[in-house]
Structure 1
Amino acid sequence: MKTRRRRERRARARWVTALASLALTGGLVGGSFLAHGTDAPPPSAKPDRFVQATCTPIDSFERGSDSTRFGQLTFLGGCVLGTNSARFGGLSGVEVTDQGSRLVAITDRGVLVRANLVRDGAGRITALTRLRLDTLRTPDGRLLEPSDHHDLEGLALSPTQAFVSSERNHAIMPLIWPAGEGRDGAAPAVGPAIGLPPSLSRLGYNKGLEALALAPASGPLGPVLLAVAEQDPKDPGILPGAYLQEGLWNPFRLRRSDRYDATDAAFLPNGDLLLLERRFNLLDLIGMRLRRFPAETLKSGGVIEGDVLIEANANFQIDNMEGLSVHQDAQGRTILTLVSDNNFNGIQRSLLLEFRLNTR
């Protein structure tokens, strides 16, 4: 017990130091971090080809505990990601496809990350291979610059379409997909931004479109594109969202509580919505929460509460959790994959965590 308490104190001390350091350097704004730190290099015009990656295992989700069951989720494992490229980091959106064998992610700085996932006999991720980093391009062929996207945050893709979202300029852009697979030097491109409803186009400077998801065609909503903002500048108790159905945006409102902000969303196979939330401030230190919203409630017109699946703080192996993906493995189990944004600094980590959603 004493050993566990010492670990918890060390973890809390580490986050106090990290948050204080970032606050003093201007990195903490309204409870979230600016994406473009001065210590990170600008994106390169020449994409790296198959970057070397490391995947340092995380065997226990709760520090000092061997428990694997947390609420309705079972922790399967994870790792701390690293590469030999200075352009890797700032992971803000993720999708795992092909029954868990392929990873696609987006970074704050407009870099598309693609890799194969290697798993052991128990299904745990042990390595990333054929990792590739490509800076996205505009429709006219230019590399995306900060003035173009102002911090990419969300990624949503299906076998036939893909989208990315950005905050500050509050935009959703189609991603040309498949994106240059197998072609040397191919840089994926984004298309012109699609129109947004007023509830999503008038957001705060650094509190914009964080969560993006494509619903399954077989779900109650049908194949809609859904977006959720980090906060509502007019109402601190609301997370504004909307889904695009047959060319029309349908707004909805999720309850915001306990100083959590929305960071990503994903649909379950039955059409229910999962929302990833995080808090990262000097009062609470660090926190992560997952909530589940039945798809039908998004049509209710009221403020939707949702059910908490899991909540974690500094005593757990989390960081600035920003990306969420849902896939089904070869056994038909529903797997949740989460990634963290390290803000391109040496204090934080790029985490890759996986959980199984329990049926009962």
Structure 2
Amino acid sequence: MQRTLATIAVALLAGLSPLEAAEVAVSATQITSFGDTGLDGRVGRLAFRGGLALVAQDDTFGGLSGLTTTGPDQHVSFVTDRGSFVAGQLAYDDTDRLFGLIGVTVEPIRNSKGDPLPRQYAKDAESIDTIYRSGIPVGVRVGFEHLTRVADFALTDGVPGGAAREVELPGWLDDLRTNGSLESVCIAPPSSPIAGSTLLLTEDHEDGAGNHAGWLLGQNDKGPISYAVSPVVFPTDCAFLPNGDLLVLERGVSMLTFSMALRRVAAADVRPGSVMTGELLLAVSGSAIDNMEALAVHQAPDGETRILIGSDNNFNDWQRSLLLEFALLD
């Protein structure tokens, strides 16, 4: 069952320069079932906590490929296929259910000179995670495919922007030039054995042994890492749980139907030289999902640790921008 809500946020501001963030009106429809499962019902190893279907009339909103929390009070940021940051605040009702995304802004991602990315080949941002210093969010780290690279950006009041600061990558990853290259970027939390290291996972590039190739960037934990291949689905994002375990979101398409899987990798298995094989938490296909590409772990207003999974509509009218929320049961 779905319940349509009033449009949230404000109309698109007029007269802004191309380098300024534009506010965009986003309408949210609450999602209160997941397939045959209602609110708080069990799906795999998770409980469904609700979700949103997001729509905006402005054509800069869409293609939401990566997601991270960027500050207190449920501030979040996405990256898009067309090289933009989409920032906003998750709104919850008095029962701690998502009911909107408010204060939404869209701003072009910039290069190292502070200019908007010049061509689509360079704009395909696929993943984002937040950089913390002493528990304070100070920036975001973004991964791009096609023109494969990783870059850091500043945070101002929970909104990312400014000139890119590129991160050095190993040669084999830097040389990849496909849409199956770098898909997932996530930074290990203090509880992880590799705390502070950045995990990079490719979508469809083999390590030489038939696994998805990856790399760990860190001072003490640096080097190759791999992720085991699963039938039909490919990794599209990753996020660490507070205890250091890793979540990997997988997405596939078969007979024009999307499928999704979520796996959990033990913290001890996320290390250089490892081939990670995750424990399956959720596997689903059909109309309850879309092109699921974004993953984040955050704390709801009631303190519960929740998992956000978002979809990339590729700026197509026939696809949806979904934001689904779950909680781990065990």
8 Å CA contact 1:326–1:335 kept in 2: the answer is yes
Q: Which residue of 2 aligns with 1:238?
A: 211
8 Å CA contact 2:70–2:158 kept in 1: the answer is no
1:334 to 305, 308, 311: 305
1:163 to 141, 149, 152: 141
8 Å CA contact 1:289–1:312 kept in 2: the answer is yes
Structure 1 residue 169: deviation in Å?
Answer: 1.5
8 Å CA contact 1:164–1:172 kept in 2: the answer is yes
1 CA distance for matches of 2:156 and 2:220?
A: 23
The 5 Å alignment of 1:1-360 reads 45=18, 47=20, 49-62=22-35, 64-66=36-38, 68-98=41-71, 101-146=74-119, 149-158=122-131, 159-178=137-156, 188-203=161-176, 205-233=178-206, 237-246=210-219, 249-282=222-255, 285-299=257-271, 301-314=273-286, 316-358=287-329, 360=330
Instruction: Please identify runs of 4+ aligned residues in structure 1 that moved more than 3 A.
Output: 46-49, 64-67, 97-100, 233-237
Alpha-carbon distance change, 117 to 50 in structure 1, aligned in 2, over 3 angstroms? same
| Partner AA of 2:297 in structure 1 | V
2 CA distance for matches of 1:243 and 1:84?
A: 40
2 CA distance for matches of 1:174 and 1:97?
A: 13
2 CA distance for matches of 1:236 and 1:145?
A: 37
For the residue of structure 1 that corresponds to 2:268, the secondary structure is helix
Structure 1 residue 303: deviation in Å?
Answer: 2.5
8 Å CA contact 1:274–1:290 kept in 2: the answer is yes
Alpha-carbon distance change, 179 to 196 in structure 1, aligned in 2, over 3 angstroms? farther
8 Å CA contact 2:206–2:213 kept in 1: the answer is no
Report percent identity of matched pairs.
34
Gaps of 5+ in 1: 1-43, 182-186
Alpha-carbon distance change, 263 to 80 in structure 1, aligned in 2, over 3 angstroms? same
Alpha-carbon distance change, 210 to 236 in structure 1, aligned in 2, over 3 angstroms? farther
1 CA distance for matches of 2:172 and 2:269?
A: 18
1 CA distance for matches of 2:153 and 2:47?
A: 33
2 CA distance for matches of 1:93 and 1:50?
A: 19
Alpha-carbon distance change, 333 to 201 in structure 1, aligned in 2, over 3 angstroms? same
Greater strand fraction, Structure 1 or Structure 2: 2
Gaps of 5+ in 2: 1-16, 132-136
RMSD over equivalenced CA pairs, Å:
2.3
Alpha-carbon distance change, 237 to 204 in structure 1, aligned in 2, over 3 angstroms? farther
Q: Which residue of 2 aligns with 1:7?
A: none
Greater CA drift, 196-205 or 221-230: 196-205
For the residue of structure 1 that corresponds to 2:192, the secondary structure is coil
| Partner AA of 1:144 in structure 2 | L
Greater CA drift, 145-154 or 302-311: 145-154
1 CA distance for matches of 2:72 and 2:44?
A: 24
Alpha-carbon distance change, 113 to 55 in structure 1, aligned in 2, over 3 angstroms? same
Alpha-carbon distance change, 165 to 133 in structure 1, aligned in 2, over 3 angstroms? same
Alpha-carbon distance change, 229 to 113 in structure 1, aligned in 2, over 3 angstroms? same
8 Å CA contact 1:95–1:325 kept in 2: the answer is yes
8 Å CA contact 1:51–1:132 kept in 2: the answer is yes
8 Å CA contact 2:27–2:100 kept in 1: the answer is yes
TM-score w.r.t. length of structure 2: 0.86
Greater helix fraction, Structure 1 or Structure 2: 1
| Partner AA of 1:59 in structure 2 | T
TM-score w.r.t. length of structure 1: 0.79
2 CA distance for matches of 1:232 and 1:138?
A: 26
